[in-house]
Amino acid sequence: MSGSKTISVDQGAWNRAQRSARELATVRREMPRMLKDVRRQSQADTRRMIAPLERRQNATDHRLGRLSAQTREFEQRTDARLREQATHIRRVQEESRREVRRLDRELRQERLERRRQIAELGSQINDIIVRRDQASALAQAFLADARVMAEEIGTLPHERFAPGRLAVLEGRLAGTTETAAQVDAAYALSSAQDLYYDLSDLRLDVRQAEQEWLAARLEALEALRRADARIEQFAKTPMLDENGVEIPGVVLDLDFWTDGRLTTLRDEVRRETEELADAGCPRSVEELREVIQKHAPGCGYEQRLDELLECGAARMYAAQIRYNTAEKIADALGEEGYDLVEDVYEGGDHRASHFTKLRHLAGEGDVVVEVAPEGNTGMSIKLLSYDRDPAQSRRAERTANMLAKLRDEGVPVGDPVDRGTEPTPEEADFELIQQKRRNVG
């Protein structure tokens, strides 16, 4: 038997650590303080994004006041519906969603009613010869209203939500205006009516699309801010015992125990948050809805955080178990006449292997024990014997006694595997071991 042996420890025996880690990942998912902070940020987002719309509304109200009597009432009524719809922009409860759907139906009905009433204005002029002056005046009024409506649409993000439509309608406006100037304006009445309606319809389409986009953007931002808040909440969090009770004074540094993966996650969340918070956010409504669905509570970033919590907690539990096992090994070898000389972590890193050096009180030699991690919760034990008299029977007896003691202590060790070589002096050089950098990845 050589002086180098590896002893495996059944990874399944550490299921308790994994269960505790899963408990940590799910406990206190929605802390009151976290939710309060998210709500405050969401309210600030809403105020910031709604403010430009409210400032623009003042100019819209003034512009609608320039419309003729026959269209002003229609547009002001439509605007009132749009403002009412906007009040529900941040309320995601089902009751508010029903309100938005109700207002959508009312706006669609408003469109039909507006078309019908505008058509009636023209149909009332039956005798174009007798009432030509009245028809001409009405056509000029519709053209003037169409110019006001085109001006209003020009202040909206129409190229984003209805690309190219305004340019087409402005072309029609120019053509109808020219017709009204060159021929009797009465003959342009029907075209002027249709043009005004199409411009009014475009304004409504753009306003509704903008509000839908804004609502989706705010909801997506809230999902991201919730994920960010949970990351901060669990970056440093008390550990739990197997019963889900906090262990006093024991805190999980999640970034440390996941090799910096928490920082990577946090950076991803904040990059995406900055993109959505920026006034020039390029995401479409469909893309924003994907963000909402992907990063809803329990999904996306939050799911990845839960996985990190389980991984980090399992690693920290396992590191403590490895240390406890190293102490049990030292106690077992103490019964064989060995005393602790020193112990170190590889690279000074508690995530890495733990090394213990023991020396026989009668001067028979040293034993170096390495307890190394395997995966997140497993471990293996390496026993290096530096005996002055490498008698095989003595080594075999010492190893057997140590394993029996560990099994009595509940450590599920397997049978030793002989490496077939004698250990090197470097493997017992604790200064080199402490300077060695841990391999991550």
Residue 397 has pLDDT above 80, yes or no: yes
Tell me the pLDDT tens digit for each residue of 305-342.
Answer: 888 988 888 888 888 888 988 999 999 999 989 999 99
Radius of gyration of the chain (CA): 38
Tell me the pLDDT tens digit for each residue of 53-89.
Answer: 778 888 888 888 888 887 887 788 887 777 776 666 5
Nearest-angstrom CA–CA distance, 245 and 278: 42
Buried-exposed string 187-202: b where 16+ CB fall within 10 A, e elsewhere? ebbebbbbbbbbbbbb
Which residue, among 279, 296, 351, has the nearest Cα to 319 in the 3D structure?
A: 351
The tokens of 357 are what? 């050096």
Fold of 4-15+316-435: TATA-Binding Protein (3.30.310)
Q: How many residues does the chain have?
A: 441
pLDDT-based confidence at residue 93 (cuts at 50, 70, 90): very low
Residue 416 has pLDDT above 70, yes or no: yes
Residue 100 has pLDDT above 60, yes or no: no
How many other C-beta atoms can be found within 10 angstroms of the C-beta atom of residue 98? 11
Tell me the pLDDT tens digit for each residue of 143-175.
Answer: 999 999 999 999 999 999 999 999 999 999 999
Question: What pLDDT is recorded for position 26?
Answer: 56
Question: What pLDDT is recorded for position 40?
Answer: 80
Residue that wins the pLDDT comparison between 406 and 80: 406
Domain ranges of the chain: 4-15+316-435, 26-31+222-313, 49-219
Concatenate the DSSP letters of all residues of 339-398 into one string.
EEEEEEEGGG-TTS-EEEEEEETTS-EEEEEEEEEETTTEEEEEEEEEESS--HHHHHHH
Distance between start and end Cα atoms, the chain: 34
Question: What pLDDT is recorded for position 219?
Answer: 87
Tell me the pLDDT tens digit for each residue of 199-219.
Answer: 999 998 999 899 889 888 988
Question: What pLDDT is recorded for position 34?
Answer: 65
